[in-house]
Amino acid sequence: MNCHVMNMVCLSQRSQAKFRIILPILILIAVELVHPTMSCKNEKCSQLLHRSLKLTRLMSKRSADLLETYKASQGDSADLICDMQMDNVPVSTISGQTMSERILSVYTHLKEFLPHMKTVMEQQKDLNPPINPVVEGLHSMITHVHHIAQRVNCILQILQPNIPIPEPAERSTGIPPAQNIFQQKAYGCIVLSRLQELLSQAVQEQKSLKGKMCKQRTKNGSL
Amino acid sequence: MGSSHHLLVFLMFLHYAVGFTYNCVKILPDSSSSIVVEVGKNFTATCHLLEGCAYTSDDIEWRLGNDSIAKQSYHRINETSVSVTINISSDMNAWLKCTAPKESLSYKPKIIYGIFLRAGYPPLKPKNLSCIAVQEDKDISPNLSCSWDPGSRNPLIDTTYTVYANVPGTVLTHKADCKQHLARFCVVNLETFPIHMVLKVWVEVKNALGSERSELQSDSSYFAKPNPPLNVQVLTEDKFPTSLVVTWKHPIDRTILKLSYAIRYRKVTSNVWIEVPESFTRGYIESFRLQSLEPYTQYVVQMRCIGESNSSYWSNWSPSVTERTTEAKPASAPDLWRIIRPTSNSRNVTLIWKAPVKANGKIRFYNLSINQNNEKFESHNITADNLSQMYSMELPAGKMASIEITAYNSAGESPKATLSIPRSDKELPGVKDMSWSVRDEKLQVKWTAVLPLPHPLKLSEYLLEWVKIPQSVHQKELPAGWQRVPKNVTVTTLNAGLEKFKRYNISVYPIYKYQPGHVWHFQPGRPVTRPAYVQQGPPKEGPTVTVTKSKKNSAELTWEETPLDSHQGFIIHYTIFYAIGNTKQWKSETVGPNVHSYVLTDLASETDYVVYVMASTEAGSVKGTDCTFKTMKYGDGEVEVIVVVVCLSFLFLTVFIIMICLRKREVIKKLLWPQVPDPSDSSIAHWSPDFPIKADLPKEDVSVVEVDVFDGKSLCEEDKGVLPLKKDKYLSEEHSSGIGGSSCMSSPRHSVSDSDEGDSGQTTSSTVQYSTVLGSGYKGQTPSHQPPAFARSESTQPLLDCEEHPDHLNESQSRSSYFRRGRELEPGVLAPECDGGSLTFCPVQEEEPSPVAEEPPASALCYMPQKSGYRPQ
């Protein structure tokens, strides 16, 4: 009986010891998976902001170019389709009062735009030859917007290190239901137009961080 | 049934004969494929005999390939297990077998089990990983080319290299499998190059023995390589001869990669690049001004770029752009020199010059000003032409000249160059002990410095002049080259492109300067000149030898010196080779370089020789053309001696014969001229030349001998027939007969002859005159119309030598004459032969006895008409 008890105790102790070792590893893995922001620590604040701003500025410029390319590839009614109104497309307006709120708004909007861009790319693949400048530009743009979002996330981590960054809900704005070709063209144009507006505002928002964010951090002794 | 039984028996026999393998053994570790083992490490395998196996562990034998493993490597674990430990070598790719061999005729089945060992190395960690993404169009290519050093060790087993790349913080990781063995290069496609993101790249190498990994993580721009700057242009600016403006375009947008630029330039004539400091071109600029350049000089400019703060790879250099700076005034004076050639009563001065070293442009013309005896003599503007940068003039020996020259280009004039030529008797001293040597295929000239001269003359520099010998007739070349060296230098290397195998006269001039006014004047001193070769070679051609004198045992050879241009070096000696005919047994004589004739001695007489002369320099020799000659048979004077001896011998012989003749004259006389009987002394004949000579007789040379036949005697019988015939030949119609007929005294000589054809053949000296009796009666016959007359005959018929007794001669002396010299009878002339008969004639005049009958005057001869002696007809 004792022996059984002893065995049970022993087994219990061994299991606890193993759990103590494995648990931090699991937590670490979970954190790594949930928080793709560990790389932010590898860059200095100013460097981060500088590169983020450069990338956002580049994408702002490229989104404008892409929009022109898109319009050129949609035929004569390009201007007309871009003037249409659609509710399902996320707005490009940056909201918030503080720097952190506005940057968070930028981050949220960027994340919201990504599924729409993917939808437009898929639609364009169907409407045009699979490999065309619009599709290529959109593919590249999606990657770069991902990268901008990552940079902005890092900025947010610097701006509000103790507050978790809320991830936008998957398909929060909703992908529009089945559309005809005209609607698809209009949808794509509106997405790109609003994305261009969003990136322009993102540039402005990040510019506004210059001289404030990293200075504050330096004073705090973090960096 | 029976057949199946037989088959079973056959199979059993076969089974027994071949052996039965029962799988009751197993090796651990085991693998369905090969087992990879690391080279250099020990590998232990255990052979387990399964239950029911007829063998024990003592029966186990380990084999590697076909070789048994030594028992010392075995470790018997228990009755059924035996392990073996082997050290793995790099070439150990073989079966490791555990077996129990079947003994002969044993019932135990054979057992065997094997595992295949493959030796290899674990992978080495890749070193020096680097990745690069080049610019494509206006973006950076998503294709990331990575390279690394895999190490030199061959892993021997399959090893894979994989390149991974991702942006930290993102889930997506790109990878590329590198298929090559020992891969050192691979391209991973990132789909979109992550601009302004951190990029992490690693290469992982794996094989069965392990894995290694090398990693790179940096801002993505560090992996980017931009294109060179676009549209690089180099612009010149008027009035800025020392600068060039470089402009270009950014190859990539600054939002992608902000660049800084590097500029380098060099002279076209130089290989050394000068790089503009990066601090000068740090900004995001698109133009730059190169300064402190040389005027009128071609420069090559290149550019490249790099990410700001060296945040990327350098681009390649842009294509070269060449541009020339604008002209400026010449910054240095022309290099003026002169060549003086003395003439009979003057000096021919050729002024030669080089363009200014710092011409700073294209020289358009030169202004040459010549003063003689401090008075302006002439001034010329000479168009700058590389082909005619010289000027010749005559300068009397007693005059000095001062020359000034200035060069002009489009921007202005150069400083003046001056040169003074003193009077012939006012030359300044030169250097001493000048010598030269060859170093690195260049001439190094050495000399002794000149002694200081009294004020105001100062040594300015030295000038080294080289002149190719013989001088080229090519008009375009300057007659000489020259080089100036500072005054403190006494050894220098000529920087001239002197041709090999060509002779040059190297001269060293000290250049003195003095300042009579505001301008320095430069005057060369006396030169010291030496011939030199930068490299000597064997002569191009050998001398042509000729034999000027050939004697019995010697021959004098002469050869002309070959043209100086064909020497190709200093002739150090000539070698004369000679041999007899084709024997090829050459003998040689060596003479100095200044000897051009030689006497070969100890030659064989009357022998053909071949001779040639070989000219030698220190670099080699070359033979001239062959010459053949033949030595004489006789030496000097030998012929003369022989001739003199022969002549003297002949002379002595002649004298000897003459002496003998004189001494034996009588004998000879008798032999040559036998005694002729004197008719006058003949007692049997009388010579009565009573008839006058008729003047109108024909002059035919007819000899008639009237022979007074003794009474009672008649002519021989043959005469009877002959005489009439002969008479027909005579001009005398009556009769004609030769005188001196046979003496009828048994003399063998004919005494009478007559011949027509003998007239012309007779010489005067040997002519014996005969008388002709014309128109006389004979033996009582009266001539019909003319009295008989005597005519002289020139017949050579010798007179009969009377052999009669002199008494008879004396008796008839008053009536006949005789000739002391007798002659033989002319051939063809029939001479009457008298047998015992005698003819008598009377000489007109008795002559002195003489060996040669002188031609008596016709009038002096008188023959008596023959009155008797002939028989009546």
Question: Is A58 in contact with B255 (Cβ distance < 8 A)?
Answer: yes
Please give the Cα distance from B843 to B849 (Å, whole number).
14
Per-residue pLDDT, B572: 92
Which chain A positions have a beta carbon within 8 Å of B222's beta carbon? none
Nearest-CB residue to B255 (from A38, A52, A61):
A61
How many Å lie between the alpha carbon of B146 and the closest alpha carbon of chain A?
22
Instruction: Tell me which residue of A41, A222, A141, A150 sits closest to B217, measured CA to CA.
Output: A41
Asked whether residue B768 carries a pLDDT value surpassing 70, the answer given is no
Please give the Cα distance from B798 to B751 (Å, whole number).
7
Mean pLDDT, range B124-144, rounded to an integer? 93
Share of chain B above pLDDT 70, in %: 73
Please give the Cα distance from B477 to B340 (Å, whole number).
17
B602 pLDDT band, cuts 50/70/90, is confident
Which chain A residue lies closest to B194 (C-alpha atoms)? A144
B749, B801 Cβ separation under 8 angstroms: yes
Asked whether residue A221 carries a pLDDT value surpassing 60, the answer given is no
What are the percentages of helix, strand and coil residues in chain B, rounded to 5? 10, 40, 50
Asked whether residue B117 carries a pLDDT value surpassing 70, the answer given is yes
A17 pLDDT band, cuts 50/70/90, is low
Asked whether residue B707 carries a pLDDT value surpassing 90, the answer given is no
pLDDT digits (tens, 9 = 90+) for A190-208: 999 999 999 999 999 999 9
Per-residue pLDDT, B706: 45
pLDDT digits (tens, 9 = 90+) for B352-407: 998 898 889 989 999 999 988 877 778 888 888 765 688 888 888 888 898 999 99
B509 pLDDT band, cuts 50/70/90, is very high
Per-residue pLDDT, B864: 43
Mean pLDDT, range B437-462, rounded to an integer? 87
Per-residue pLDDT, B473: 58
Chain A contact for B309 (CB, 8 A cutoff)? no
B107 pLDDT band, cuts 50/70/90, is low
Mean pLDDT, range B449-453, rounded to an integer? 83
- Judged by average pLDDT, the poorest of A63-72, A108-117, B387-396, B617-626 is B387-396
Asked whether residue B329 carries a pLDDT value surpassing 70, the answer given is yes
Chain A contact for B689 (CB, 8 A cutoff)? no
Beta carbons within 10 angstroms of residue B46's beta carbon: 15
Asked whether residue A5 carries a pLDDT value surpassing 70, the answer given is no
Please give the Cα distance from B123 to B139 (Å, whole number).
36
**Which range scores top for mean pLDDT: A174-188, B73-87, B95-109?**
B73-87
| Lookup result for tokens 């370089």 | B593
Please give the Cα distance from B838 to B240 (Å, whole number).
156
B519 pLDDT band, cuts 50/70/90, is confident
Per-residue pLDDT, B819: 43
Instruction: Tell me which residue of B198, B19, B202 sits closest to B100, measured CA to CA.
Output: B19
- Angstrom CA distances, A55 to A115, B67, B254, stand at 20, 69, 11
DSSP string across B41-103: SEEEEEEEEPTT-S--GGG-EEEETTEEPPGGGEEE-SSSEEEEEEE--TT--EEEEEEEPPP
Greater confidence (A168 vs B162) lies with B162
Mean pLDDT, range B569-591, rounded to an integer? 89
**SS3 label, residue A200:** helix
Q: At residue B280, what are phi and psi to the nearest 5 degrees? A: -75, -25
- Fill in the amino acid letter for B485: V
B744 pLDDT band, cuts 50/70/90, is very low
Instruction: Tell me which residue of B327, B345, B349, B323 sits closest to B336, measured CA to CA.
Output: B349
Per-residue pLDDT, B366: 93
In eight-state DSSP terms, residue B686 is: -
B220, B192 Cβ separation under 8 angstroms: no
In eight-state DSSP terms, residue B110 is: B
Per-residue pLDDT, B577: 92
Nearest-CB residue to B195 (from A38, A42, A58):
A58
Beta carbons within 10 angstroms of residue B550's beta carbon: 16
Chain A contact for B216 (CB, 8 A cutoff)? no
Chain A contact for B54 (CB, 8 A cutoff)? no
Question: Is B169 in contact with A39 (Cβ distance < 8 A)?
Answer: yes
Asked whether residue B716 carries a pLDDT value surpassing 50, the answer given is no
Please give the Cα distance from B155 to B126 (Å, whole number).
13
Asked whether residue B650 carries a pLDDT value surpassing 60, the answer given is yes
Per-residue pLDDT, B830: 39
Per-residue pLDDT, B472: 62
Which chain A residue lies closest to B140 (C-alpha atoms)? A140
Per-residue pLDDT, B451: 83
- Judged by average pLDDT, the poorest of B101-115, B121-135, B385-399 is B101-115
Greater confidence (B44 vs A39) lies with B44
Instruction: Tell me which residue of B682, B706, B715 sits closest to B814, measured CA to CA.
Output: B682
How many Å lie between the alpha carbon of B198 and the closest alpha carbon of chain A?
9
Q: Which residues pair with A76 in a beta bridge?
A: none
Which chain A residue lies closest to B196 (C-alpha atoms)? A51
Mean pLDDT, range B685-689, rounded to an integer? 55
B476, B426 Cβ separation under 8 angstroms: no
Best B171, B196, B254 member to test A by mutation, with max A CBs in 10 Å, is: B196
Greater confidence (B814 vs B227) lies with B227
- Angstrom CA distances, B867 to B520, B687, B775, B779, stand at 143, 9, 13, 6
Mean pLDDT, range B504-533, rounded to an integer? 88
A131 pLDDT band, cuts 50/70/90, is confident
Asked whether residue B445 carries a pLDDT value surpassing 50, the answer given is yes
Under 8 Å CB pairs connecting chains A and B tally to 52
Which chain A positions have a beta carbon within 8 Å of B255's beta carbon? 54, 57-58, 61
CA end-to-end span of chain A, whole Å?
Answer: 61
Mean pLDDT, range B61-90, rounded to an integer? 88
